[in-house]
Amino acid sequence: MPSLLGAKAAFHRISTLRFDLRETLRSLKPQKYKGTLERRFDGELIWVDDEPIIGGPLFLDTTVYLDVLKGRSPVTVDTLLTYRLCHHSAVCLSELTHVFGRLDPKHPSTRTVLETVQATIDDIPEHRLHAPNAAIWGQAGVLAGLLFRMSNLPKGEGLERKFINDALVFLQARQLGASVLTGNIRDFDFLSQLVPTGRIILYRS
């Protein structure tokens, strides 16, 4: 007979997979937002230069992987990655593996690029790689739509889909109690304005 503890754990797993649209709308309140979002001044944001080396866990945005691979990540970012506990998103994993289908296999640099990306993916610990659950996916759709509406950007250029990925990473980090480390300053500033309980750490490459 299953234990009470096991039953509670099973119920928790099931409940986190469910998406409650009414609860999401009560929480995010997309209907209350009007006008256009404006990026805050630098002094109002949290930057990597001001972060202590020892601190809370990080959740890495795709910009971090790309900047590190291209050798353009600031020293302060490299230091933080060395000392902080880092978590990874399956969303960013898909953005990294995208090149394995997109790059021309006949191009002379493709093999080197793919080997570098593969080595990066191989270094991600399996127990720190997180996939969004159904609840996060549902919330991210609402948040991404709100972000697009309030960014006053042109339609039909694929930005809606990009915002969904950003919202997924942001909400995953919030769920884990981690800070998103990202060089995507504007979009994650906007996300943290819409959901102030999410934490971000910004940098410029």
Residues in the chain: 205
Reference 135, options 30, 21, 37; nearest CA is: 21
Assign 16 a pLDDT band (cuts: 50, 70, 90): low
Largest Cα–Cα distance in the chain? 61
86 versus 12: which is more confidently predicted? Answer: 86
Check pLDDT > 50 for residue 190.
yes
Between the two ends of the chain, the Cα-to-Cα distance in Å is 56
Cβ within 8 Å of residue 171, ≥6 positions away = 132, 136, 139, 140, 143, 195, 198
Check pLDDT > 80 for residue 79.
yes
Kindly report the pTM of this predicted structure: 0.88
152 versus 88: which is more confidently predicted? Answer: 88
Looking at every residue in the chain, the average pLDDT score rounds to: 91
Q: What is the mean pLDDT of residues 143-151?
A: 93
**Domain range annotation of the chain:** 58-202
Report the range of poorest mean pLDDT among 58-62, 78-82, 154-158, 186-190.
154-158
Check pLDDT > 50 for residue 80.
yes
- b/e per residue 18-27 (b: at least 16 CB within 10 A): eeeeeebeee
DSSP assigned state of 40: P
- How distant, in Å, are the alpha carbons of 17, 20, 31, 126 from that of 11? 10, 16, 32, 24
95 vs 84: CA distance, rounded Å = 23
Let me know: does 132 contact 140? Beta carbons within 8 Å: yes
170 vs 165: CA distance, rounded Å = 9
Q: Superfamily for 58-202?
A: 5'-nuclease (3.40.50.1010)
Q: What is the pLDDT of residues 93-116, one digit of tens each?
A: 999 999 999 999 999 999 999 999
Q: What are the DSSP calls for 192-205, one per residue? A: HHHSTTSEEEE---
- How distant, in Å, are the alpha carbons of 30, 57, 170, 186 from that of 36? 13, 32, 20, 13
